[in-house]
Amino acid sequence: MLNIKHFLYDFLVAEGLPENVAIYLNMLGLLLALLLIAFIVDYITKRFLWRFSAGIAKRTKTDFDNILVANKLPRNVAHIIPLLILIEFVPQVFTDFEITQNIIEITLKVITIVLTLQIIRSLLSSIKDYLKTLPRFKDKPIDSYVQVFMIFAWLLGFFSIIAIITGVSFIEFATTLGAASAVIILIFKDTILGFVASIQVSINDMVRIGDWITFEKYGADGEVTEINLATVKVQNWDKTITTIPTYALISDSFKNWRGMLSSGGRRIKRSVIIKTSTIKFLTDEDIQRLKKIQLVSDYLDNRSHEISSFNENHQIDKSVLINGRNLTNFGLFRKYLQTYIDNHSAINKDMTLMVRQLEPTAQGIPMEIYAFSKDQRWVNYEYIIGDIFDHVLASVTYFDLEIYELSLNQKA
């Protein structure tokens, strides 16, 4: 090993300077020289690694090397050699200043741990960013796993730093921490819960990045943009951001619309309330008039003939309309809507499709359309619903029916 301890000291003493002054000047001169050498080596190493990385990036098709550069891995690695030089020669520079030497050696050891953690973080961030470019990993909670690993790495680094500063061996320090494990678990409760939750979410495929979820408890209704250890970020349809604790995904109830998006249809479930007082039996005159409606004309021909034959065969007294079998305007309207929906081009015919009468209410009887639109996009979906119910509302009067409306007199 090169002995530079008194490189300037002997020369300065020979020149007539006092020994105490020569010691300080010797230390300062060696320190400046050491720092200059470390800076030059750091600069050269950094330039070399940058050129080396750029050369590899040009010769390879993958983007991983570009991601490494973007996450400053070469820059952090470049600091290793200068740091080793400082660790090697600091004892010689401060050979006459034992207390200062000990403080600086401890500081350099701490810097070494921090630099190691920075390199690990750069590497993990690069792996995370690269995996996110791959289609099969885009919807996976990669952030959670990276964060868990980094938490353990930072804890290990933090405990190592404490052990170095206190002068206690790492094993003894870790043993002491074992007694305080209950407190540590309490402090990191949310982190542990988030880690377990992120694993369960991933394994059970409950939520993916890009899923549309609705979480009423947290006011979330939109697309999942990020899943990490502590929170799930949801960009709502009004462009606001809602953060949900990751563990809430397994402890609370929420709605994931992925099944709807992958099913090929989006549900339409809406009704109109028909005034009960407008429901009636159809007379022969009503039937003849309603046969002009093309969607139910064939149905009326077949159905009225069948009912007439039944009433005649059973000698039903039709002077009273309620006797025997009859058609009602409400039932015919339901048949009309069923036929209309069956023929609508925007409705998915391979999924559940029906028009049904719901339980009577104080306002009237709801007539509900239950179907699935082919187009799942929100704007188009709302347009389809609007188109259908524009027609429904306009067609009610043709069947001598009325839709319930709450008047001001009724409110009073």
DSSP string, 1-29: ----TTTTHHHHHHTT--HHHHHHHHHHH
Percent share of the chain, pLDDT over 90: 27
- Residue count of the chain, please give it: 412
Q: 102-118: per-residue pLDDT in tens?
A: 888 888 888 888 888 88
Supply the pLDDT for residue 127.
Answer: 82
Phi, psi of 198 (to 5 degrees): -65, -35
Q: What is the mean pLDDT of residues 355-373?
A: 93
**pLDDT at 86 > cutoff 80:** yes
What are the structure tokens assigned to 335, written together? 């048949």
Q: What's the order of all strands across the beta sheet hosting 266-274?
A: 266-274, 365-373, 354-357
Q: What is the spatial distance between Cα 296 and Cα 234, in angstroms, rounded to a whole number?
A: 47
CB atoms within 10 A of CB 12: 19
| Beta partners for residue 272, in sequence order | 367
Supply the pLDDT for residue 5.
Answer: 60
Give the pLDDT band of residue 24 (cuts 50, 70, 90): confident
- 127 vs 17: which has the higher pLDDT: 127
CA angle 348, 354, 358 (to 5 degrees): 145
At residue 71, what is the residue type? N
Q: 240-263: per-residue pLDDT in tens?
A: 999 988 888 888 888 888 877 777
Gap between the terminal Cα atoms of the chain: 102
Q: What is the spatial distance between Cα 327 and Cα 335, in angstroms, rounded to a whole number?
A: 11
Supply the pLDDT for residue 366.
Answer: 94
Q: What is the mean pLDDT of the chain?
A: 82
Supply the pLDDT for residue 259.
Answer: 78
What are the structure tokens assigned to 20, written together? 């105490």
Q: What is the spatial distance between Cα 361 and Cα 271, in angstroms, rounded to a whole number?
A: 13
Supply the pLDDT for residue 2.
Answer: 44
Percent share of the chain, pLDDT over 70: 83
> Dihedral of CA 242/248/252/257: which sign?
positive
Phi, psi of 252 (to 5 degrees): -120, 170
Return the minimum-mean-pLDDT range out of 62-71, 222-231, 298-307.
Answer: 62-71
At residue 25, what is the residue type? L
Return the minimum-mean-pLDDT range out of 46-50, 92-96, 137-141, 307-311.
Answer: 137-141
Q: What is the spatial distance between Cα 357 and Cα 351, in angstroms, rounded to a whole number?
A: 19
Q: What is the spatial distance between Cα 180 and Cα 44, in angstroms, rounded to a whole number?
A: 46
- 56 vs 256: which has the higher pLDDT: 256
Q: Are 334 and 357 a contacting pair, CB within 8 Å?
A: yes
Supply the pLDDT for residue 173.
Answer: 63
Q: What is the mean pLDDT of residues 269-288?
A: 93
Q: What is the spatial distance between Cα 275 and Cα 269, in angstroms, rounded to a whole number?
A: 20
**pLDDT at 399 > cutoff 50:** yes
**pLDDT at 324 > cutoff 80:** yes
Q: What is the spatial distance between Cα 376 and Cα 344, in angstroms, rounded to a whole number?
A: 16
Return the minimum-mean-pLDDT range out of 91-100, 122-131, 300-309, 345-354.
Answer: 91-100
Q: What is the mean pLDDT of residues 348-372?
A: 93
At residue 188, what is the residue type? F
Q: 279-315: per-residue pLDDT in tens?
A: 999 998 999 999 999 999 999 999 988 988 888 888 8
What are the structure tokens assigned to 309, written together? 């034959």
**pLDDT at 275 > cutoff 60:** yes
What 3-state DSSP class applies to 153? Answer: helix
The pTM of the full predicted model, rounded to 2 decimals, is 0.51
Supply the pLDDT for residue 1.
Answer: 40
CB atoms within 10 A of CB 290: 22
**pLDDT at 410 > cutoff 50:** yes
